[in-house]
Structure 1
């Protein structure tokens, strides 16, 4: 699989990584043995980049990855984790003292002395402009607790605020065929600043797999059931913030653009990889088969100008009015 340099980390990561939220919680139940099998399948398919967070299953996702890496010490895997959602979302909670506690917990879960990459996990918007926050992160780098740091954002203006701070290594942002705004400013600015871009929610919570219908139901503990109105966290994390019925109509149109021999989900991932400035795309996988299929999207190659034009038309017709001003 093609690898790209992950911003200022100087590490080479696969263009398709593995998002591991689903190995912790909020996507229905995943058996621990199945979770380990998914990690193995991802690595076997050429993936060397895992993204996790300290709150995914209250640490279960990190612990699963930590055990996997301990059992496979020869693997060269870059692990990005996130911190900041373990407390009430108030700017004053983003302090060096709290960072130390959260990072120590993640180091224990992942069984490492130094974390490869730590990202602020969609904190209050003002945090992205707080110089003291970045000073604290720089301190943790100098002490050897973390190698690099980045931010995970909900909105493009938050990404642009973070880019003003010179030691930011990466930005993680929602980018998919239904969320195009990052293409306007964030990707060009990140590329100019040598900041890696990690594209999350690439399949719009599964909508862009083309496998859902109006009759599809989700488990009670699946965020695609309980967070459709944003009652638990930012609604943009669930189906990219798009109305489910509207998304079903849009994905039918997207499917008509997909070349023969390419499955819809792979086309959606390949389209993101082809966007200038993207480093890695991190779809999740709840089965070994999904992990393999997602990784195979990296071999799809460019799908042509017509797909790009079609994606823009779909966005303008179905989503721009509701999505573009909000995120």
Structure 2
């Protein structure tokens, strides 16, 4: 495992880590505590030392399972969680210092911790980024020893740029993959200049970039890939990176021609992300322990050639850029 600096947190984190949106069960399926613990153990066994969760993942069960496993281990593992999505309706007015303090304290209880390594605002409305009192709240929480670092998880590149104006923002979590190139054009340089760590989520575009889907692929009705394609429940950019499913399948077939051989497209999609030195870590999910090994194998692949990098960009510009570039 290789490690990279996570911005001004000072942490050195595994370049491929673990996101836990669907840990312990596929999207739409019940949470399975035993499976969740097996996945986390497998990740730590393989050298993963950064795990990202959230208070709303399986109603806190993900937070609790991750923390329970980490407490059983001797390795130092950095735990990141997120708060804010419990606010319904999810509006800027719902974000208050009191409410956010309560969420942090709830996560501490849920994870049986005294201090959170990294707490992230969980894709708040854009207006929240213009409210200094929200960010000042986390300075007080740090003074009280309840958190070590503040980060933000964003939908929009513009939100990330607003967030980085606050000195206490140490990390930005953003969607970045072969179907979402805008962050590399407008965000990465600013993050580097501000020593802000970049955490990449949705690296496989909700599975589209595995190369295993077809027009006949079906999804559990409770799976966001079935019900959120047009943003019915939350930002549609979280589902297939906002890409039309059929168009995404066409683009995937073009991408496959750039990477002939035995390795699956998913591995190359993760390796492509690691080609960007500004990225601190990428956090693919896993619903089974064996997926950990296949995710981490991507870091062992050779660097992409200049022709392959240009090829990915060309596919994006032909199939995806007109629809997705300006939306996020």
TM-score (norm 2): 0.97
For 1:16 and 1:280, the matched residues in 2 are separated by 6
For 1:259 and 1:246, the matched residues in 2 are separated by 21
For 2:294 and 2:168, the matched residues in 1 are separated by 35
Aligned partner of residue 166 in structure 1, secondary structure: coil
Is this contact kept in 2: 1:46–1:295, CA < 8 A? no
In structure 1, the residue matched to 2:12 is 12
In structure 2, the residue matched to 1:179 is 180
**1:24 Cα deviation from its structure 2 partner:** 6.3
For 1:25 and 1:169, the matched residues in 2 are separated by 31
What are the residue-to-residue correspondences of 1:293-304 with 2, within 5 Å? 293-304=294-305
Say what the alpha-carbon RMSD is for the aligned residues: 1.3
Q: Could you give the per-residue CA deviations for residues 178-210 of structure 1, whole angstroms, max 9, x where no partner exists?
A: 000001111110011000000100000000001
Count of paired positions: 326
Aligned partner of residue 310 in structure 1, secondary structure: helix
Q: Could you give the per-residue CA deviations for residues 165-187 of structure 1, whole angstroms, max 9, x where no partner exists?
A: 11210000000000000011111
Q: Could you give the per-residue CA deviations for residues 61-105 of structure 1, whole angstroms, max 9, x where no partner exists?
A: 101102212222x12111111000111212122222111210111
**1:40 Cα deviation from its structure 2 partner:** 1.3
Is this contact kept in 2: 1:70–1:111, CA < 8 A? no
Mind listing any 5+ residue stretches in structure 1 that lack a counterpart?
none
In structure 1, the residue matched to 2:84 is 84
Whether 1:23 and 2:23 are equivalent positions in the alignment is yes
Is this contact kept in 2: 1:163–1:190, CA < 8 A? yes
More displaced stretch, 225-234 vs 18-27: 18-27
What are the residue-to-residue correspondences of 1:1-327 with 2, within 5 Å? 1-23=1-23, 27-29=27-29, 30-72=31-73, 74-88=74-88, 89-327=90-328
- Change over 3 Å in CA distance of 1:99–1:228 after alignment to 2: same
